[in-house]
Amino acid sequence: MVVPQCLAVSALSIALDDLAARRLGVSIATLYGGPFRAHVQAYGASYGSLPGRTLESWIDEAEALAARGFLAMKVRLGVLPVAEECNALEQLRARMPPSLALMGDGNGGFNATTARQMGRCAEELGLLWFEEPLPIEDYVGYPELAAALTIPLAGGELSQTRPATLELLSKGAVDIIQPDPVNCGGIGEVIFTGALARLFGRLCVPHTSGGAIGVAAGLQALACLPDQSLLGLNELQFLEYPALVDPIQRAIAPNLLEPKDGWVDVPTSPGLGIDIDGDAVERLASSRLMVE
């Protein structure tokens, strides 16, 4: 469960990092000691699918993402019965070019049995990881599921404290831990989680909330993560990027970096690397209040 105080702490931490870096004239990645990489591969995070339209919605999204230069896509699972959804996933894999990498996000929609079934389907089809298939309250059942599957199990986007993160890693609940800078306490906490994950031979791939600031913060954090894993999975250090082009997001942050040929350059400009249009924020907030 997300604790509001943690969200406030995260927002304040990101804002202070941005302010400090801007005053020094450096990027946040430089503020934390310098980036390990100049650009990162992005994956388009599916914005969902409707019952009965899983395959069609996936194909629509995949084609739109490919047109924008993405080379990877995360699909939302747990909408249909496992057999139907696995069949749809097989058709998606067959109809899309092999160069398009796929990940699966279970959104807590499976039980212990169906998670194993879908996990094995995802393994056979070559998905890069299987994200949070079981409910995420205390991540009960994750260590057993991780041990039963070959595909890397990912999770941890709502972990908001260091003890919670340590528990996930020490129990072997996930192969890929996904701290979100807007949940876990900011960019510095993501970097800390990456160092902790490395001690356990696990990979840290930051989750992003889809908002402009969350994406920019995730990019700065990812740039600061060194080679993480003893699993040979370092090539999975992707940036999560919203598949949906959100006009509100673009209005608020008009210079949010767009992937080119599937990659996003780490900004070298001061701070987060994006500028927030205060007038747009005020205008949109006023419009929303008027509607409500």
Q: What is the pLDDT of residues 27-72, one digit of tens each?
A: 999 999 989 889 999 999 987 666 667 888 899 889 999 888 899 9
Q: Which residue numbers are catalytic?
A: 207
Model pLDDT, residue 35: 92
Question: What sign does the CA torsion over 156, 162, 166, 169 have?
Answer: positive
- How much is the pTM? 0.92
Model pLDDT, residue 290: 41
Using CA atoms of 95, 98, 99, 102 in order, give the dihedral in degrees to the nearest 10. Answer: 80
Quote the domain boundaries for residue 245.
4-291
Whether 213 and 253 have beta carbons less than 8 Å apart is answered as: yes
Contacts of residues 110-117 at CB distance under 8 Å and 24 or more positions apart, as own/partner, are 110/77, 110/78, 110/82, 110/134, 112/141, 112/144, 112/145, 114/82, 115/141, 115/145, 116/145, 116/148, 116/149, 117/82, 117/86
Query: How far apart are the C-alpha atoms of 115 and 131, rounded to whole Å?
Result: 10
Whether 13 and 185 have beta carbons less than 8 Å apart is answered as: yes
Model pLDDT, residue 208: 93
Q: Which residues are CB-neighbours of 201 under 8 A, at least 6 positions away?
A: 229, 230, 231
Whether 257 and 217 have beta carbons less than 8 Å apart is answered as: no
Model pLDDT, residue 243: 85
Dig out the tokens for 229 from the structure. 């894993």
Total number of domains constituting the chain: 1
Model pLDDT, residue 2: 63
Model pLDDT, residue 47: 73
For the chain, first and last CA: distance in Å? 26
Q: Which residues are CB-neighbours of 62 under 8 A, at least 6 positions away?
A: 73, 92, 96, 100
Residue 193 amino acid letter: T
187-199 and 162-170 helices, crossing angle to 10°: 30
Q: Using 70 as the pLDDT threshold, list the residues of the chain that sit under it.
A: 1-2, 48-52, 228-235, 288-292
CATH of the domain at 55: 3.20.20.120
Whether 25 and 35 have beta carbons less than 8 Å apart is answered as: no
Query: How far apart are the C-alpha atoms of 181 and 160, rounded to whole Å?
Result: 9
Model pLDDT, residue 73: 95
